Amino acid sequence: MRGFWECLLGIRWAIVFLTRIPVGGRSEPCLPIGSNWAAAHFPLVGTLIGVVGALVWWLSLRLDAGIRTWLVIVVLLLMTGALHEDGLADTADALGGAFDRSKLFAILKDSRIGTYGAAALIGALCLRAALLTRLLSEGSWVIVASQTVSRFAPVVLIRWLPYVTPPDSSRSRDVVRVNNSQLTIAALWTLFSCAGIAYFAHLPLARFSVALGAQGVASAWLAFRFKRRAGGITGDFLGATQQVGELAFLLGLAWAA
């Protein structure tokens, strides 16, 4: 029963870790009960975020599609505190500007954004806006699906790659420990959400498979780069994985349409 209770508490800590939704706990110790189960519920939090984005899309029906898309993106940024976008920018700066491992970690700790980070961030936001404008004409399920599946890949990376952030600068070491049980729960959340979306949106399985395959290839490439350049993952790398995975999934959906 204790393990089950800790697993349920992990939902709260997943929300705390990935969003700015006021559920309390931000001022509590960094290793509270249940926080080690947070990663298991990352896809569930992605579904919740996607539902809010879909609601914004429907509430802005009277506006132009482009404006509605940017409203959705802004709301998602506010919900997550631009957590993943920050990781993408830091990762781009580190991988693009560092020639050795020590320099890479120094850049990751630097709060300033460089040329590589700015280019990656602007490019990702513009590409996301273009893809969502194109795909949301088919239905708001696109937001829910992309937010859900893009938060599963980081859980896989946490399970199979070492966490290499130096202990003195790590704020989430307990969260980034995933065993097979937690990975299974994350996979089930993703499966349930995707199955429901595919059923109610009458989405062809082949098209959904192409999108998932595109995300899988992108995530595997990132994992290879992270392992080769840094020896493992950091919090910023996980944020970049979510961003790139989301774009790859949307590109797959658009290509297979």
pLDDT digits (tens, 9 = 90+) for 142-156: 999 999 999 999 999
Residue 228: what pLDDT?
A: 93
Domain boundaries, the chain: 42-255
Report how far apart, in Å, the C-alpha atoms of 246 and of each of 85, 109, 182, 186, 239 are. 12, 25, 22, 17, 11
For residue 94, which of 219, 221, 226 has the smallest C-alpha distance? 226
Contact (CB, 8 A) for 247 and 124: yes
Beta bridge partners, 179, equal: none
Only one residue has tokens 């460089």, namely 114
User: Does residue 184 register a pLDDT over 70?
Assistant: yes
> How far apart are alpha carbons 186 and 206 in whole angstroms?
23
pTM over 0.85: yes
Residue 178: what pLDDT?
A: 84
Contact (CB, 8 A) for 162 and 238: no
- DSSP label at residue 170: -
User: Does residue 163 register a pLDDT over 80?
Assistant: yes
Q: How large is the average pLDDT for residues 59-77?
A: 94
Q: Which of 101-115, 124-138, 191-205 has the highest mean pLDDT?
A: 124-138
Residue 150: what pLDDT?
A: 96
> How far apart are alpha carbons 183 and 39 in whole angstroms?
8
Q: What angle do CA 29, 102, 162 make, to 5 degrees?
A: 55
Average pLDDT, the chain: 89
Only one residue has tokens 């029906």, namely 61
Only one residue has tokens 């795909």, namely 135
